[in-house]
A = this chain, B = another copy of it.
Amino acid sequence: MMSKIPVAVLAATGSVGQRFVQLLDNHPWFEVVVLTGSDRTAGQTYGQSCHWILPGPMPEWAAGLEVKPSEPGAVGNLPLVFSGLPASIAREVEPQFAQAGAAVCSNASAYRRDPDVPILLPEVNADHAGIIPLQRQRRGWTGCIVTNPNCTSTGLTVALKALQARFGLRKVFAVSLQALSGAGYPGVASLDIIDNVIPYIGDEEDKIEWETRKMLGKFNGAQLELASFTVSAHANRVAVSDGHTICCSVELEEKASPEEAQSALQDYQPPQLARGLPSTPQPVIEIRSEPDRPQPRLDRNTGKGMTTVVGRLRPDPLFDLKMVVLSHNTIRGAAGGAIYNGELLAAMELLPK
């Protein structure tokens, strides 16, 4: 049996960081050897410094690790690091790791708009990883940066991909009902959300409208082209712990009935490269046929939280199709997605030696 690939988790004490630690527990390919935190926590053990907020206990191996500063010098030479850093710090620190030779699988938005940085969902656009050699060449890095999309773009893009592949896409309306964990911890104040809805999440609508088009665009061997459809997004925060729900209306290039759309979604197969990895969703898309599903509390953990769940396929008076999409925002939409990206890089032999 091969030895595991040693990895680090940056910003491991935060809410995304905790999910990384939980999901990397007993990972078949990766072994966490370093956890980093803020200057305030560095030097303590993870068990001491981390206010663990996930159901289920903190893994014992993690509790005993000493928290290091989020710097290449402190972390050491590792081929793969998972980053739960906030965007402002990621902007500065992630290139240092890429420069030092690590493949950085980042959950931050800092580099998503850079032309040579892919936003990867392996089951959607694994081929976009093909830009990594160009990224290395341009930037003089031995490592690299790949990102996963915003947690709301994630499920939406998976569902849209299946429709795009079969019918083509013209227009998308998307209104999100987003979970609290998407705002990190402590995140949303309880007084702001009890008996309430907040119809606003800073910068979120712009991300949904843009990132979907980058991911569903083409890598032409030299660059990533934006897809030409248009998205209009409204983002809302609701009193749900985990699981983003998206109400979506879609205009297709080629007309399709709800039944045809459903079979396109149900039959969708990920690219060959993205199949059979440890985190490949089983299934990639699940269709719920009840009139009132998917629902976050009941469906968010489908496929260990990696599956995109779609329901309520029905005709739309303005466009072609209405549907509801659900995705687990801190698993598929954050830590689990970044790990899946790391697996893809490993399988494509894109990790630094």
A245 to B198 CA separation, bound complex (whole angstroms): 9
Taking the complex as formed, is A231 at the interface, i.e. its CB lies under 8 A from any CB of chain B?
yes
| Oligomeric state, in copies | 4
A55 to B15 CA separation, bound complex (whole angstroms): 23
Contacting pair A192 B53 (CB below 8 A): yes
Residues of B within 8 A of A298 (CB): 53-55, 196
Give the Cβ gap from A37 to chain B, nearest Cβ, in Å.
Answer: 19
Which A198-252 residues sit within 8 Å CB-CB of chain B?
198-200, 202, 209, 230-232, 234, 236, 238-241, 245, 247, 249
Which A244-287 residues sit within 8 Å CB-CB of chain B?
245, 247, 249
Residues of B within 8 A of A301 (CB): 55-56
Contacting pair A318 B173 (CB below 8 A): yes
Give the Cβ gap from A224 to chain B, nearest Cβ, in Å.
Answer: 20
Chain A residues bordering chain B, tally (CB within 8 A) = 59
Residues of B within 8 A of A196 (CB): 240, 295-298
Taking the complex as formed, is A186 at the interface, i.e. its CB lies under 8 A from any CB of chain B?
yes
Partner of A249, one of B54, B173, B181, B187: B173
A231 to B319 CA separation, bound complex (whole angstroms): 10
Taking the complex as formed, is A74 at the interface, i.e. its CB lies under 8 A from any CB of chain B?
no
Taking the complex as formed, is A134 at the interface, i.e. its CB lies under 8 A from any CB of chain B?
no
Contacting pair B190 A189 (CB below 8 A): yes
Taking the complex as formed, is A171 at the interface, i.e. its CB lies under 8 A from any CB of chain B?
yes
Taking the complex as formed, is A185 at the interface, i.e. its CB lies under 8 A from any CB of chain B?
yes
Known contacts A301-B55, A316-B232; A191/B180 CB under 8 A = yes
- Residue interface mask A295-330, B partner, CB < 8 A = 1: 111110100000000011000111100101000000
Measuring CB to CB, which residues of chain A are less than 8 angstroms from any residue of chain B? 15, 53-56, 171, 173, 175, 177, 180-181, 185-200, 202, 209, 230-232, 234, 236, 238-241, 245, 247, 249, 291-299, 301, 311-312, 316-319, 322, 324
13 A-B pairs besides A173-B173, A194-B195, A232-B319 with CB distance below 8 A are A55-B299, A177-B199, A186-B186, A190-B190, A194-B297, A196-B295, A197-B240, A197-B245, A199-B247, A199-B312, A202-B291, A232-B249, A241-B297
